[in-house]
Amino acid sequence: MSEPATVFDADPAGARGTLPRLLTGVRADGGAVSLDFHLRQLGAPPRLSRAGLIDLVAASGLRGRGGAAFPTARKLEAVAGGRGRPVVVANGAEGEPASDKDRALLRWAPHLVLDGVSLAATAVGATEAIVAIGEGSRNERAAVEHALEERDAGGVDGDIRISIAAAPDRFVAGEETALINFLNGGPAKPLFVPPRPFERGVGGAPTLVQNVETLAHLALIARYGAEWFRELGSDDEPGSALVTLSGGVRKPGVYEVGLGTAFRDIVIGAGGLSEPVTALLVGGYFGGWIEARSALELSLLDAELAPRGIGLGARAVVVLPQGACGVVETARVARYLADESAGQCGPCVNGLGAIATALERIATGRPDRSAEQILRWTSQVLGRGACRHPDGTVRFVESGLRVFAREFELHANSRRCSGDGRTVLPVEVSR
């Protein structure tokens, strides 16, 4: 997933906006856009008052692109109204193995992200900002470091000091309280709340934590306005988004699409299916499996996925080829998620480990627990963790038990499943 981003215009006729937006000017060789080229393409961000920028973001309907989809303006308002000098944290610590969108944005369009960082700092009254990048993401760090050198030479960010922090390459490290704890010198583990970061974050100051894609959108909204942003997407879920598409498609990669685009059209934009498929994993490892025929008719909207108990999350979509076994893939990811636990509460440490072990035994034809027993365990784990990690894992596992019910039955009875032994889902962060 490290090739240059692919841009797919979900509406080629241009009736409801055009693409690319975030990926404007991205080079074919995958190199970072320079400051000079960035400014020639987009112009400098306008000077807006703090209240004016927050009002503009509120009118746009922008929601966080990191997974929780929280209204961005509400976060800005909360931090701006706090006591003390705020800090801004741009969260690019992408710990989701199936996602490459944040790393792609940092590699190819670092100045757009940094524009958003600078604007957000102005909006909340901060003079300090931190860009958190996974410690193994060396190319992304190099791109941002070079971009900061260009901006420092040109005085682009004024009095705002922007630094880089290397976050651990762990699944939970990108959770905002875990990231705050790490930046404060502790382990990258989620904290009990309250207080939340907007109340007390880095160094005890009110802290705005925003995903890097969210900040890039903010930089475009400041330039082009709320109505422009809403030309794509739905009334409740406006704008475009970056989607990491992998698995059984001809051209896997990072795609920019309008929210509301049908998954079938996204796949067509990626060259179509490379072979017959059985299911789509939507939303990454905190999302869930959907049978392929149904999934391809759905759209890239939380509103359409919510009735199925699934969210878009980090907008990672994996198309499962027919030759890959859904039972094996579900067990592999369940083990990965159990091992990625912060290890600080029982439901996560004991519950997820037991669930993963039971799934592994079924996957290898040595079952000692039935699917019904595993479902009883997931119901006991749900809602009992210190963070969302056990809930996200349970959601993923339950979707696998549902969608691959026939395959689970074959495995449980030690009969051959339809898989050919290949594995598809990554269980480590790509570099």
Q: How far apart are CA 110 and CA 283, in angstroms?
A: 24
Give the right CATH number for 20-229 from 3.30.500.10, 3.40.50.11540, 1.20.140.10, 3.40.50.300. Answer: 3.40.50.11540
Nearest to 199 by CA among 87, 116, 55, 120: 87
Residues 6+ away with beta carbon under 8 Å from 212: 90, 91, 92, 102, 105, 106, 113, 116, 131
Please report the pLDDT score of residue 67 as a whole number. 83
Nearest to 100 by CA among 213, 215, 244, 315: 244
pTM for this entry: 0.94
Please report the pLDDT score of residue 30 as a whole number. 76
pLDDT tens, position by position, 181-232: 999 999 999 988 889 999 999 999 999 999 999 999 999 999 999 999 999 9
**23, exposed or middle or buried, with CB in 10 Å at 0-12, 13-18, 19+?**
buried
Q: Which two tokens stand for residue 295?
A: 């999934």
Tell whether the model's pLDDT for residue 3 goes beyond 60.
no
**Residue type at 86?**
P
Give the residue extent of every domain in the chain.
Answer: 20-229, 240-321, 326-412
pLDDT tens, position by position, 226-236: 999 999 999 99
pLDDT band at 429; cut points 50, 70, 90: low
pLDDT tens, position by position, 48-82: 999 999 999 999 999 999 888 899 999 999 999 98
Q: Which two tokens stand for residue 72?
A: 């961005």
Give the right CATH number for 326-412 from 1.20.1440.230, 1.10.390.10, 1.10.10.60, 3.40.50.1100. Answer: 1.20.1440.230
397-402, long-range: CB < 8 A, 24+ apart: 397/330, 397/334, 397/355, 397/359, 398/288, 398/309, 399/287, 399/288, 399/289, 399/290, 399/309, 399/310, 400/288, 400/289, 400/326, 400/327, 400/329, 400/330, 400/334, 401/330, 401/371, 401/374, 401/375, 402/289
Nearest to 203 by CA among 303, 307, 130: 130
pLDDT band at 430; cut points 50, 70, 90: low
Classify 240-321 by CATH class. alpha beta
Tell whether the model's pLDDT for residue 11 goes beyond 60.
no
Tell whether the model's pLDDT for residue 85 goes beyond 90.
yes
Q: How far apart are CA 222 and CA 218, in angstroms?
A: 6
